[in-house]
């Protein structure tokens, strides 16, 4: 049966066209048009989001089942697009300040976005790989975007080499899965797996390799080594992007993969996810204590946070999946706010990143210090901030499925993590003031910071708003 109804694909098609169109504009106009292209890209992303809302989120597959559109994909794509718009808005002033005002920047973000949207809609191992690579290649280039900086180039190379390795592993896993099930279509794989009486080792191996590849993308232990270096080396605006968006896409992919075709093998993958969740939480908590660079600190924080999100996967229930989605959404919004502050840490026109540079910020620049403090409390999961509710739902999912030990490890590591989040607050509030930062935070950054803090504080008033929608979105993975 040939299906030419491309409506569910419209957002991706439109976004690709925007990317290509802007590429032409950029090539003809040169780097002077960067600003315009940035805002045009943001507008393009926003329109894509509107189209996404318009195409309807009922479950449909197109292209012979290679691409699926459902509530889950819709919700994740909305998050991705929001994250991309936020990171673009955070970037504009920064790339000008740092002298890397080149028109490719927003266009690469757009293509990465197309890749991410493909990832969460992938219903076939090929689509999965295509989306993943489109995203990854754009991000490799972005990491090295500050090409005059050795660190940035190093970050790009490191990310690329390790990323290529992980893609290789993933591809190897895909080939094993294909070999043992005879299909690359998620639905067919799911049917095959559920009819197997004994899971062949080859299939398990294939799944392990695929998970290794994906664990790299979400920077989960033990595939996290690249994260601190790349976070530190990449231009800060790109770091912000890395921290905010790709993880949502990778999680979307991971969840669809595990809950749909491989649900029948949950005994196998739960052990793996359990291990990487514990590893990520513990490493994320302890390694961050020794960091003095805020970007590295945030890198470990993101490793730890991925660990918490993975707890929801271990639970293996609709509740757990909903918890993951909610956790990621909250994490994304908090991180965007944190990076709005980090990007504004400039002294005499130079960006500074040491934790010490924040000394006494509550006195020199309360407008930055208070929001950051609120976000840090939220990241450490202290109620009534939004971060607490994220942790509440994932731990709840774990406990409901009987993973008490995992929940205890989780909460204890969150206490350890609280130590370094508190350190940021301590430096800002308890220490003697250092020189003030440069004035003049651009409007876009202030707006993002404001929205983020408002969300964090206001979440507790009407939590239903977000909790229901993310639980709804995740539930389709279990009904279909």
- Return residues touching another protein (CB under 8 A): 322, 362-363, 377, 382-384, 388-389, 392-393, 395-396, 399-400, 404, 407-408, 411-412, 414-415, 418-419, 422, 425-426, 429-430, 460, 463-464, 467-468, 471
| Residues 6 or more apart in contact with residue 439 via CB below 8 angstroms | none
Nearer of residues 32 and 405 to another protein, judged by Cβ? 405
Query: What is the C-alpha separation between 429 and 343, in angstroms, rounded?
Result: 20
Nearer of residues 175 and 363 to another protein, judged by Cβ? 363
The closest of 88, 31, 235 to 153, measured between CA atoms, is: 235
Query: What is the C-alpha separation between 426 and 260, in angstroms, rounded?
Result: 45
Nearer of residues 187 and 364 to another protein, judged by Cβ? 364
Nearer of residues 203 and 477 to another protein, judged by Cβ? 477
Pair 424, 358: CB distance under 8 Å: yes
The closest of 140, 141, 135, 137 to 122, measured between CA atoms, is: 135
Q: CB 48 → another protein: shortest distance, Å? A: 29
The closest of 228, 411, 204 to 311, measured between CA atoms, is: 411
Nearer of residues 243 and 270 to another protein, judged by Cβ? 270
Nearer of residues 211 and 277 to another protein, judged by Cβ? 277
Q: CB 250 → another protein: shortest distance, Å? A: 25
Cα distances (angstroms) measured from residue 197 to each of 180, 183, 192, 193, 267: 14, 18, 10, 9, 13
Q: CB 468 → another protein: shortest distance, Å? A: 6
Q: CB 430 → another protein: shortest distance, Å? A: 5
Query: What is the C-alpha separation between 113 and 84, in angstroms, rounded?
Result: 7
Backbone angles phi, psi at 235, to 5 degrees: -55, 140
Cα three-residue angle 282-227-214, rounded to 5 degrees:
85
CA atoms lying within 13 Å on the CB side of residue 464: 1
Q: CB 460 → another protein: shortest distance, Å? A: 7
Nearer of residues 7 and 400 to another protein, judged by Cβ? 400
**CA 270 distance to own-chain centroid:** 21
Nearer of residues 71 and 224 to another protein, judged by Cβ? 71
Q: CB 399 → another protein: shortest distance, Å? A: 4
Q: CB 373 → another protein: shortest distance, Å? A: 8
Pair 471, 319: CB distance under 8 Å: yes
Q: CB 467 → another protein: shortest distance, Å? A: 5
């Amino acid at each position: 049966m040939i299906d030419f109804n491309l409506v569910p694909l419209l957002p991706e098609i439109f976004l690709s066209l925007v990317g290509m169109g802007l590429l032409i504009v950029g090539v003809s106009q040169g780097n002077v048009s960067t600003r315009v292209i940035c805002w045009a890209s943001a507008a393009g992303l926003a329109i894509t989001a509107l189209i996404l809302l318009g195409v309807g989120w009922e479950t449909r597959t197109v292209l012979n089942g290679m691409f699926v559109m459902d509530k889950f994909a819709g919700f994740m794509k909305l998050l991705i697009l929001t994250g991309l718009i936020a990171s673009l808005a955070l970037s504009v002033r920064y790339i000008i300040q740092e002298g890397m005002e080149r028109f490719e920047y927003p266009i690469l973000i757009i293509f990465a976005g197309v890749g991410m949207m493909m990832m969460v809609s992938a219903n076939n191992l090929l689509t999965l790989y295509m989306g993943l690579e489109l995203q990854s290649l754009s991000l490799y280039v972005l990491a090295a975007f500050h090409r005059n900086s050795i660190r940035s180039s190093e970050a790009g190379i490191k990310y690329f080499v390790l990323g290529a390795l992980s893609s290789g592993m993933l591809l190897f896993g895909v080939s094993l899965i294909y070999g043992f099930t005879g299909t690359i279509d998620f639905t067919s794989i799911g049917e095959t797996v559920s009819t197997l009486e004994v899971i062949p080792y080859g299939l398990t191996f294939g799944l392990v390799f695929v998970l290794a590849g994906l664990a790299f993308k979400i920077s989960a232990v033990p595939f996290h080594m690249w994260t601190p270096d790349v976070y530190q080396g990449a231009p800060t605006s790109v770091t912000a992007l890395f921290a905010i968006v790709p993880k949502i896409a990778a999680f979307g992919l991971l969840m669809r993969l595990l809950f749909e075709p491989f649900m029948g093998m949950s005994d196998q993958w739960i052990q793996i996810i359990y291990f990487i969740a514990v590893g990520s939480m513990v490493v994320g908590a302890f390694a961050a204590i020794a960091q003095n660079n805020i970007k590295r600190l945030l890198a470990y924080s993101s490793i730890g946070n991925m660990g918490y999100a993975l707890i929801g996967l271990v639970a293996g229930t609709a509740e757990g999946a909903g918890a993951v989605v909610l956790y990621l959404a909250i994490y994304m919004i908090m991180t965007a706010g944190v990076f709005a502050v980090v990007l504004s840490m400039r002294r005499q026109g130079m960006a500074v990143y040491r934790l010490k540079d924040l000394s006494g910020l509550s006195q020199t620049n309360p407008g930055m210090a208070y929001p950051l403090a609120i976000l840090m409390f939220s990241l450490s999961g202290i109620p009534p901030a939004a971060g607490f509710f994220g942790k509440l739902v994932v731990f709840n999912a774990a406990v409901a499925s009987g993973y008490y030990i995992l929940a205890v490890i989780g909460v204890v590591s969150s206490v350890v993590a609280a130590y370094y989040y508190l350190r940021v607050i301590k430096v800002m509030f308890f220490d003697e003031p250092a020189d003030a930062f440069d004035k003049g935070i651009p409007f876009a950054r202030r707006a993002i910071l404001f929205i983020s803090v408002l969300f964090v504080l206001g979440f507790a008033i009407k939590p239903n708003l977000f909790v229901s929608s993310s639980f709804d979105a995740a539930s389709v993975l279990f009904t279909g």
